[in-house]
């Protein structure tokens, strides 16, 4: 049983309400931070903890906080990114729904550290019922003196506002989120200037993921050094993984990043194996935008070492034979799944969610979807596979925001690792309509070069 | 003051130039000019916040600056990246850039209808130039191109959404030139479109400028629609006393007839500054209503880039055909030309009092009719 920091109390009855949460030791970090620590000390503590952004990119949170500009007389803002729209990722929803006060507590401490008197939660529009939960938690916190004017007599004022999005994936990108928060069309901004210098209403802003901000609470409670001891290497602390797909026990799991991928999929404590005795074919380890890996590369790296559930190990081998931790959306595909169809559905998603601002992403995502549709429905040509590869290559890295990369990577990885399945679709247009390619050789042990 | 005028040394395609701090790579490259200047479809120096969207101006930064010589990991949009001291940029000398640019051109043309033969913008279209200079000869796209429901946006401006490349220039123009913006971008992704909300016409004294900023034929002049091809017209600079705008325009004439009026554009296709340093936007009255030569004070022919189709075989001056200044006598040792037959003695059409050589451009029936009465 690995250590739980965030979801430890998630199933205590009534933890959603202030009284129970407080009785279970909630809001200790606010008392500690506001009474005993300076904002700089909190930033230092978060830096020491090695906490990495949980939204996908894995950028060190303390570092991000220290970049915030502090011009005289200009208010600063903290924005909580709760626009969790990546297919396969639902960890923030779980956290906000079951233990909303943890997020509020983390937000108060982080706002104090960053000097934000008006803090925003930008929440996905589809999470309509969670808005009510959060607003109730905010009201309760306010009534008990943890929010509002002069919190705990420290002279620090803070208000938290919940803003609903309108259901656009792109608004999870931090600058698009800021535009949307300002009431504009959610188009990503061109960086620089970075939000740390010019964010919401041109004021210095920090945008953090829900889980990152919630993780500030245990960091303050136990100290940064103590937190850094959990986990392995530069992957410190615990991570929420939302597992779904062909597994026996889908759900949100908190892991301390020391377990192997194999253990995560097959142990009863976590996913509980694959139903109906099927075999593992492929897996997307970190949300729809990260590269898909076949079973053999997922469980072992190209060097033949065991792959672990942490930032470094999942990324081992780069994109040639590795993937990314991403936002922790763990999607498992068994031998009955078709990778072409799967890639098509992702391409359709990115085509639909592209904001249309810059040309490679706007035109390229639609083109890729049309070609994939042809291949999937038996109208593909052999040259289409190379064409897809060329299109994704021309989108990747040439766009304003990472959505272009996110649209290109799944297609690239699918062709890189599952090219023969694409070719089988092209060569057997009729058969591919009736049956799947199956497991094929994707679970075979890979040849590891000696030395 | 001396701090603000700090000069940065930047090397673009092995040509070094000094520019003030805060200049973008694109503007530094434009100072060098020629092929070094990256193409720009969405950037418009007169519009705040434009640029960064079309990705045609991507360049490779092979050395970040003197202090931090690391190269930038990705290609950057030169229109929105400011230069650093000692920066080294590769534009046409970088394979990566040329490859990415060819890709962007392909993406831009993917859903473009390629209806140049019936498009009023043909001949002065930036997308035509771009695809000619940077594109590939064919397309690999085998699907239906997207279409849109047609919107009527008023009596002056014609919107062809299928031709649009979503550069957002017209949106910025309406935002920054007029008090009320009525059009914007609806929807997202490849079904995003320029439209009004809902079915309004664009009515504003300066809204006609969206025609000038549009790099393609998506926004064209309804009063000029299908009237003529731009390369048959002769651009002349003219001005009038206009109470609302600078009144400095380019008239596009054929003979004496004014076919259309546009703002004066510089070599980058952007509106020229007036002598007081402001962009020379023009009002709707000047653009759409004043279509008689008598409304204007003609200043002289407009100089057009000699590579442009517009400047083919038109008039004397810096560009185009050269009008001979030496006389026949001077060339032929004082001999006068031998007159074999006087055309005026047999023809009713030509008039002896009309000196054809003194007319700029093709002779027009009006030239003869005017002299007749």
* Residue pairs between chains A and B whose CB atoms are closer than 8 Å: 86
Whether residue B74 lies within 8 A of chain A, CB to CB, comes out as yes
SS3 (DSSP) at A313: helix
Instruction: Please check whether residue A178 touches B, CB under 8 A.
Output: no
Partner B contacted by A375 (CB < 8 A): no
Query: Has residue A373 got a pLDDT over 80?
Result: yes
pLDDT digits (tens, 9 = 90+) for A2-42: 678 999 888 899 999 999 999 999 999 999 999 999 999 99
Is residue A104 pLDDT above 60, yes or no? yes
How many percent of chain A have pLDDT more than 90? 88
Reply yes or no on whether the pLDDT at B301 is more than 60: yes
* The pLDDT value given to residue B212: 94
Please name the residue that has the structure tokens 């304003």.
A400
**Rg of chain B (C-alpha set):** 24
Contact A359 B185 (CB under 8 A): no
pLDDT-derived band at B329 (thresholds 50, 70, 90) equals confident
Chain A contacts of B40, Cβ < 8 Å? Answer: none
A94 vs B140: CA distance, rounded Å: 45
Residue B34's SS3 state is helix
Phi, psi torsion values for B309, nearest 5 degrees: -65, -25
Q: Which phi and psi (to 5°) does residue A73 adopt?
A: 75, 5
Residues A362 and A410 in one domain: yes
User: Which DSSP category does A170 fall into?
Assistant: G
Query: Are B143 and A359 in contact (CB < 8 Å)?
Result: no
Let me know whether A149 and A284 are in one domain.
no
Q: Is residue A104 part of a domain?
A: yes
From the list B52, B58, B110, which residue is nearest A190 (CB)? B52
Residue A69's CB is within 10 A of a number of other CB atoms, namely 15
- Most A CBs within 10 Å, among B26, B59, B84, B103, to test the A interface: B103
pLDDT at residue B320, as a whole number: 46
Tokens (6 digits) for A19: 């009284």
Using pLDDT thresholds of 50, 70 and 90, give the confidence band for residue A255.
very high
Across the interface, whether the CB atoms of A356 and B104 are under 8 A apart is answered no
Q: What is the 3-state secondary structure (H, E, C) of B195-212?
A: EECCCCCCCCCCCCHHHH
| Both structure tokens of B121 | 């913008």
Residue A215 CB neighbour total at 10 angstroms: 27
Closest CA to A414 of A289, A233, A238: A289
- What is the per-residue pLDDT across A40-77, written as a single tens digit (0 to 9) for each? 999 999 999 999 999 888 899 999 999 999 999 999 99
* Spatial distance between the Cα atoms of B85 and B96, rounded to a whole number of angstroms: 23
Cβ–Cβ contact B185 with A under 8 A: yes
Within a domain: residue A425? yes
Instruction: Determine, for residues A362 and B107 on separate chains, whether the beta-carbon distance falls below 8 Å.
Output: yes
DSSP letters spanning A176-241: HHHHHHTTS--PPPPSSSPTTTS-GGGS-EEEEEHHHHHHHHHHHHH-HHHHHTSEETTEES-EEE
> Which site among A179, A180, A353, A363 would you substitute to test the B interface, given the most B Cβ atoms closer than 10 Å to its Cβ?
A363
If one counts the domains in chain A, the total is 3
CB contact under 8 A, B100 and A362: no
Query: What is the second-level CATH architecture of the domain B7-105?
Result: Roll (3.10)
What local confidence, expressed as pLDDT, does residue B336 receive? Answer: 78
pLDDT reported for residue A364 = 95
Residue B319 has pLDDT above 80, yes or no: no
Closest to A200 (Cα-Cα) out of A183, A216, A185, A187 = A183
Nearest chain A residue to B184 by CA distance is A185
Instruction: Tell me whether strands B157-159 and B219-221 are parallel, antiparallel or unpaired.
Output: antiparallel
Residue B373 is predicted with a pLDDT of 46
At A423 the pLDDT is: 95
pLDDT tens digits along B98-119: 999 999 999 999 999 989 989 9
- What is the structure's pLDDT at A339? 95
Nearest C-alpha of chain B: how many angstroms from A385?
13
CA atoms within 13 A on the CB side of A129: 4
The residue assigned the tokens 């649009």 is B164
pLDDT confidence band for B4 (50 / 70 / 90): low
| pLDDT at A35 (0 to 100) | 92
Identity of the residue in B53, B108, B110 whose CB atom sits nearest the CB atom of A367:
B110
Cβ count near A424 (within 10 Å): 17
pLDDT at residue B307 above 70?
Answer: yes
Name the helix (H) or strand (E) containing A45: helix A39-49
What tokens appear for B287 in the block?
A: 């653009």
User: B259: burial class by Cβ within 10 Å (0-12, 13-18, 19+)?
Assistant: buried
Q: Which candidate, A336, A314, A341, places its Cα nearest to that of A325?
A: A314
Q: Note whether A282 and A420 are same-domain residues.
A: no
| Residue B352 binned pLDDT confidence (cut-offs 50, 70, 90) | low
Instruction: Return d(Cα B40, Cα B22) in angstroms, integer.
Output: 19
Tokens of A174: 């931090």
Flag whether pLDDT at A1 surpasses 60.
no
- Binary contact (B111, A363; C-beta < 8 A): yes
On the 0-12 / 13-18 / 19+ scale of CB atoms within 10 A, B205 is: middle
Q: Which whole number is the average pLDDT over A410-415?
A: 96
Give the per-residue pLDDT at B232: 86
Is residue A451 in a domain? no
Q: Does residue A172 carry a pLDDT above 60?
A: yes
Render pLDDT for B252-291 as a digit per residue (tens, 0 to 9): 998 889 999 999 998 888 999 998 888 999 999 999 999 9
Token pair recorded at residue A134: 């959060």
Cβ A358–B141 below 8 Å, yes or no? no
pLDDT in tens, B43-87: 999 999 999 999 999 999 999 989 999 999 999 999 999 999 999
The whole-angstrom separation of Cα A363 and Cα A377 is 22
Q: Which residues of B touch A399 (CB under 8 A)?
A: 55
Domain B143-226 in CATH 3.40.50.1100:
no
- Of A141-155, A332-346, B326-340, the one with minimum mean pLDDT is B326-340
Are A28 and A156 in the same domain?
yes
> Do B184 and A185 lie within an 8 Å CB cutoff?
yes
In terms of Cβ atoms closer than 10 Å to its own Cβ (0-12, 13-18, 19+), residue B127 is buried
Q: State the DSSP code for B189.
A: G
**Does B107 contact A168 at a Cβ distance shorter than 8 Å?**
no
Chain B contact for A185 (CB, 8 A cutoff):
yes
State the DSSP H helix or E strand holding residue B363, giving kind and residue range, or none if neither.
none
**Choosing among B65, B107, B112, which should be mutated to test the A contact, i.e. which has the most A CBs within 10 A?**
B107
Residue A119: name the closest of A73, A90, A156 by CA.
A156
Nearest to A400 among B52, B110, B185 (CB): B52
Note whether A203 and A76 are within 8 A (CB). Answer: yes
Bridge partner residues of A280 (DSSP): A334
Range of the domain at A89: 18-229
Out of A279, A303, A334, a domain closes at A334
Residues of A in contact with B144 (CB under 8 A): none
Q: Which of A197, A362, A381, A391 should we substitute to test contact with B (largest number of B Cβ atoms within 10 Å)?
A: A362
B75, B110, B143: residue with CB nearest A398: B75
**Contacts with A152 (C-beta within 8 Å, 6 or more apart), sequence order:** A30, A31, A34, A35, A145, A146
Asked which of A229, A250, A279 is the last residue of a domain, the reply is: A229
DSSP state of A148: B
Residue ranges per domain, chain B?
7-105, 143-226, 328-372
HEC letters along B239-280: ECCCCCCCCEEEEEEECCEEEEEEECECCCCCECECCCCCEC
From chain B, pick out residues whose CB is under 8 angstroms from the CB of A367: 107, 110, 141, 143
Whether residue A158 lies inside any domain: the answer is yes
Confidence of residue A266 (pLDDT cuts 50, 70, 90): very high
Closest CB from B53, B74, B108 relative to A357? B53
Per-residue pLDDT tens for A192-220? 889 999 999 999 999 999 999 999 999 99
Q: Is B104 left (phi over 0), alpha (psi -120 to 50) or beta?
A: alpha
- Average pLDDT of the residues in A418-434: 94
The whole-number pLDDT of residue B372 equals: 47
B107: contact with A, CB 8 A cutoff: yes
Same domain, A33 and A78: yes
- The answer to whether residues A274 and A395 belong to one domain is no
Q: Is pLDDT of B345 > 80?
A: no
Domain contains A93? yes
Express each pLDDT in A293-335 by its tens digit: 999 999 999 888 999 999 999 999 888 899 999 999 999 999 9
- Residue A396 near chain B (CB below 8 Å): no
Q: Does B100 touch chain A (CB under 8 A)?
A: yes
Long-range residue pairs from A320-324, CB within 8 A, at least 24 positions apart, any chain: A320/A416, A321/A297, A322/A291, A322/A293, A322/A297, A323/A284, A323/A285, A323/A286, A323/A290, A323/A291, A323/A292, A323/A293, A323/A298, A323/A413, A324/A56, A324/A58, A324/A285, A324/A286, A324/A290, A324/A291
CATH (domain of A298): 3.10.20.600
- Across B320-326, average pLDDT: 60
ipTM, 2 decimals?
0.90
* Cβ distance of B108 and A357 shorter than 8 Å: no
The pLDDT, as a whole number, for residue B1 is 43
Mutate to test the interface with B, among A180, A359, A369 (most CBs of B within 10 A): A359
Q: Does B26 touch chain A (CB under 8 A)?
A: no
Select from B39, B40, B34 the least CA-distant residue to B17. B34
Out of A354, A394, A398, the one facing B189 most closely (by C-beta) is: A354
Helix axes A403-427, A359-376, angle to 10 degrees: 20
CATH number at residue A50: 3.40.50.11540
Record: contact B189-A362, CB cut-off 8 A: yes
Do A246 and A274 share a structural domain? yes
Nearest CB to A356: which of B104, B143, B188? B188
Q: What are residue A214's phi and psi, to 5 degrees?
A: -65, -35
pLDDT at B363: 66
Report how far residue A200's alpha carbon sits from residue A209's, in angstroms, rounded to the nearest whole number.
16
Which residue on chain B is closest to A367 by alpha carbon? B141
- DSSP E strands in A110-168: the ranges are 116-123, 159-164
CA distance A244 to A256: 19
- Which of A229, A249, A280 lies at the terminal end of a domain, its last residue? A229
List, for residues B164-208, the tens digit of each pLDDT value: 999 999 999 999 998 888 899 998 988 899 998 878 888 888 999
Q: What is the DSSP letter of A300?
A: B
Q: How many Å apart are CA B143 and CA B110, to the nearest integer?
A: 9
| Pairing between β-strand B183-186 and β-strand B157-159 as defined by DSSP bridges | unpaired
Closest-approach residue (CA) in chain A for B166: A357
**What's the rounded mean pLDDT across residues A105-125?**
95
Report pLDDT digits (tens) over A139-158: 999 999 999 999 999 999 99
Q: Which residue on chain B is closest to A169 by alpha carbon?
A: B188
Provide the pLDDT confidence category of residue B343 given band limits of 50, 70 and 90. low
Average pLDDT for chain B: 86
**Cα–Cα dist B77/B92, whole Å:** 14
Q: How deeply is A135 buried, as exposed, middle or buried, from its count of CB atoms within 10 A (0-12, 13-18, 19+)?
A: middle
The owner of tokens 């976590």 is A270
Tell if the CB–CB gap between A394 and B51 is shorter than 8 Å: no
């Amino acid at each position: 049983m690995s250590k739980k920091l965030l979801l430890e109390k998630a199933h205590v009855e009534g933890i959603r309400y202030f009284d129970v949460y407080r009785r279970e030791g909630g809001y200790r970090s606010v008392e500690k931070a506001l009474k005993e620590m300076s904002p700089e000390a909190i930033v230092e503590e978060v830096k020491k903890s090695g906490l990495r952004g949980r939204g996908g990119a894995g950028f060190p949170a303390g570092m991000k906080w220290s970049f915030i500009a502090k011009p005289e007389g200009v208010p600063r803002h903290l924005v909580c990114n709760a626009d969790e729209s990546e297919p396969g990722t639902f960890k923030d929803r779980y956290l906000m729904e079951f233990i909303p006060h943890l997020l509020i507590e983390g937000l108060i401490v982080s706002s104090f550290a960053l000097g934000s008197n008006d803090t925003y939660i930008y929440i996905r529009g589809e999470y309509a019922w969670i808005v009510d939960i959060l607003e109730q938690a905010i009201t309760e916190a306010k009534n008990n003196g943890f929010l509002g004017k002069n919190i705990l007599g420290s002279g620090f004022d803070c208000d938290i506002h919940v803003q609903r999005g309108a259901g656009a994936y792109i608004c999870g990108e931090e600058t698009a989120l800021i535009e949307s928060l300002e009431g504009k069309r959610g188009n990503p901004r061109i960086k620089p200037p970075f939000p740390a210098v010019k964010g919401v209403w041109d004021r210095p802003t920090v945008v953090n993921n829900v889980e990152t901000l919630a993780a500030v609470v245990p960091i303050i409670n136990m100290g940064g050094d103590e937190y850094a001891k959990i986990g392995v290497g530069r992957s410190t602390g615990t991570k929420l993984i939302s597992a779904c797909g062909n597994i026996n026990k889908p759900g949100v799991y908190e892991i301390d990043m020391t377990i192997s991928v194999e253990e995560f999929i097959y142990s009863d404590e976590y996913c509980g194996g694959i139903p109906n005795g099927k075999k593992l074919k492929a897996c997307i380890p970190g949300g729809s935008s990260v590269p898909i890996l076949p079973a053999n590369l997922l469980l072992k790296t190209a060097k033949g070492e065991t792959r672990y559930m942490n930032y470094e190990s999942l990324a081992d081998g780069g994109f040639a034979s590795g993937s990314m931790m991403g936002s922790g959306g763990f999607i498992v595909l068994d031998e009955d799944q078709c990778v072409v169809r799967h890639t098509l559905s992702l391409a359709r998603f990115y085509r639909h969610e592209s904001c249309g601002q810059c040309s490679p992403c706007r035109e390229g995502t639609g083109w890729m979807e049309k070609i994939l549709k042809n291949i999937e429905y038996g109208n593909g040509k052999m040259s289409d596979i190379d064409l897809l590869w060329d299109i994704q290559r021309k989108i990747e890295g040439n766009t304003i925001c990472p959505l272009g990369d996110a649209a290109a990577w799944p297609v690239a990885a699918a062709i890189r690792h599952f090219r023969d399945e694409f070719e089988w679709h092209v060569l057997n247009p009729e058969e591919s309509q009736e049956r799947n390619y199956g497991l094929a050789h994707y679970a075979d042990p890979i040849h590891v070069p000696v030395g | 003051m001396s701090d603000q005028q700090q000069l940065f040394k930047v090397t673009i395609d092995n040509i070094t130039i000094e520019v003030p701090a805060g200049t973008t790579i694109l503007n530094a490259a434009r100072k060098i000019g020629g092929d070094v200047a990256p193409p720009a479809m969405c950037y418009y120096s007169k519009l705040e916040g434009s640029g960064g969207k079309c990705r045609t101006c991507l360049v490779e930064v092979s050395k970040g600056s003197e202090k931090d010589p690391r190269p930038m990991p990705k290609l950057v949009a030169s229109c929105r990246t400011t230069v650093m001291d000692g920066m080294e940029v590769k534009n046409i000398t970088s394979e990566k850039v040329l490859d990415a640019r060819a890709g962007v051109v392909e993406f831009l043309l993917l859903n473009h209808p390629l209806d140049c033969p019936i498009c009023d913008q043909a001949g002065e279209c930036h997308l035509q130039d771009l695809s000619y200079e940077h594109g590939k000869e064919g397309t690999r796209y085998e699907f239906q191109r997207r279409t849109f429901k047609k919107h009527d946006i008023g009596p002056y401006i014609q919107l062809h959404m299928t031709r649009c490349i979503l550069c957002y220039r017209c949106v910025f123009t309406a935002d920054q030139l007029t008090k009320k913006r009525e059009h914007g971008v609806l929807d997202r992704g490849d079904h995003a479109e320029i439209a009004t909300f809902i079915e309004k016409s664009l009515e504003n004294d300066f809204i006609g400028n969206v025609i000038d900023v549009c790099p393609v034929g998506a926004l064209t002049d309804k009063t000029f629609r299908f009237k003529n091809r731009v390369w048959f017209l002769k651009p002349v600079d003219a001005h009038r006393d206009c109470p609302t705008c600078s009144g400095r325009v380019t008239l596009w004439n054929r003979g004496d007839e004014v076919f259309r009026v546009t703002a004066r554009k510089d070599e980058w296709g952007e509106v020229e500054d007036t002598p007081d340093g402001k962009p020379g936007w023009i009002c709707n009255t000047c653009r759409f209503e004043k279509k008689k030569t008598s409304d204007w004070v003609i200043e002289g022919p407009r100089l057009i880039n000699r590579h442009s189709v517009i400047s083919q075989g038109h008039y004397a001056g810096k560009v185009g055909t050269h009008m001979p200044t030496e006389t026949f006598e001077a060339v032929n040792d004082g001999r006068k030309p031998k007159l074999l037959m006087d055309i005026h003695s047999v023809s009713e059409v030509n008039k002896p009092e009309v000196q054809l050589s003194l007319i700029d451009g093709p002779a027009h029936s009006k030239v003869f009719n005017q002299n007749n009465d």
